[in-house]
Amino acid sequence: MKVSILGAGAMGSALTIPYSEKNEVILWGTEFDSEIIEKLLRGEKHPRIDEMVKASKILDHSRLDEALVSDAIVIAVSTEGVIPLFKKILDRIDSKMILTIAKGLIDMGEIMTIPEVMWNERPELKDKICAITGPSIAREVAKKLPTHVVYSSRGDETLKLAKNYLQTDYYRISISKDVIGCEITSALKNVYSIAIAWIGGMESKKGVSMNNLKGIIVTQALREIGMVVEAAGGRKDTVYGLTGIGDVIATFRGGRNGMLGELLGKGYSTQQALEELEKRGVGVVEGYVNAERAYKLAESLDSRGKIDLDDLRLLKSINDVLYHGRYAEEVISYLF
């Protein structure tokens, strides 16, 4: 089939490689991707994945229309960009499938997952929407290193189509109907990654290894994610599968969430840590933005009697550190 990827960041661009095994692939860049698109059009490697993309057409942001003719549209922009882009294109798409990759929650007054916002916008597309979760570091996907992800959708046909056309030898796809569970798990994983990284920061500050504490924090993180997922109508199995554990393991040391968490673990205040990351040229930390939303989601589940917020000690601690001036080391001792 014909697949258009909207967003030429690391993940969108990496997916051109497995997707082009069986399909014609079009890559479109947003206005933020202009520099990258120029490089790609000059025949250079993608700077963030260090590989050549594989696309029959590479389009800059002025040529969005040409990308909307495909059988599958993959929205591969940041959490903040997904819904505006979706709204912009929704009257012009007549695809078999719409895929979403961003791992975040949306604040629409009420906190929602990305697919839920899409379902509300265009209920008749519900079965066509498919979310991609699970351990997939973009550079590794681009290098054809073994990857196994989860595609979730309410539509059986969509899942069948996705698996048939998009799976390759090195990019395996498992399918799931637990869209809510997959999306909440992924978004919360980014939030809890901040706390997991505190320990690395504390270790380097104190010059000791604290592996036992890492075991405690990861176990607690997955337990709490499981509670939120179940309370929101998702499945605990999802947390203990590739989407949860798999992704925690794959991203254990890296990413922007980890960088933020490590600075906090070293004793930086959130303000100082965010300034330091800005100095280093690190962009938006999705876990930071999502932490507030995750907490708001938990509060709303608590107020509806579906969960007891007091059981989410780690989430509360993360919130206290990120938004209420507490320090990581202080909340760890309270936590423990």
Q: Which residue has the tokens 């107020």?
A: 303
Residues 64-103 that bind a copy of itself (CB under 8 A): none
**Options 153-161, 251-259, 285-293, 317-325: segment touching a copy of itself (CB under 8 A):** 251-259
Pairing between β-strand 129-133 and β-strand 24-28 as defined by DSSP bridges: unpaired
Residues 122-141 that bind a copy of itself (CB under 8 A): 134-137, 139-141
Supply φ then ψ for residue 235, to 5 degrees.
-110, 135
Question: Which one of 251, 257, 317, 319 is in contact with a copy of itself (CB under 8 A)?
Answer: 251
Q: Which residue number, 154 or 214, has a Cβ lying nearer to a copy of itself? A: 214
Residue 257's nearest CA partner among 174, 193, 315, 321 is 193
Nearest approach in angstroms of CB 215 to a copy of itself is 3
Contact status: 258 vs a copy of itself (CB under 8 A): no
Nearest approach in angstroms of CB 18 to a copy of itself is 12
Alpha carbon distance 246, 35 (integer Å)? 33
Contact status: 163 vs a copy of itself (CB under 8 A): no
Nearest approach in angstroms of CB 172 to a copy of itself is 7
SS3 of 95-161: the string is CCEEEECCCCEEEECEEEEHHHHHHHHCHHHHHHEEEEECCCCHHHHHCCCCEEEEEEECCHHHHHH
- Interface characters, 170-209, with a copy of itself (x: CB under 8 A): --x-----------------------------------xx
Q: Please list the active-site residues.
A: 189
Alpha carbon distance 82, 328 (integer Å)? 31
Contact status: 216 vs a copy of itself (CB under 8 A): yes
Q: Between the CA of residue 250 and those of 275, 296, 319, what are the distances in Å?
A: 27, 27, 24
Contact status: 242 vs a copy of itself (CB under 8 A): yes
**Options 101-109, 239-247, 300-308, 314-322: segment touching a copy of itself (CB under 8 A):** 239-247
Structure tokens at 94: 């007549």
Contact status: 41 vs a copy of itself (CB under 8 A): no
Q: Are 193 and 255 in contact (CB under 8 A)?
A: yes
Give the DSSP H/E element, type plus range, for residue 173.
Answer: strand 171-176
Nearest approach in angstroms of CB 217 to a copy of itself is 8
Binding footprint of a copy of itself on the chain (CB under 8 A): 134-137, 139-141, 143, 145-148, 172, 208-216, 218-219, 222-223, 226, 240-242, 245-252, 254, 332, 336
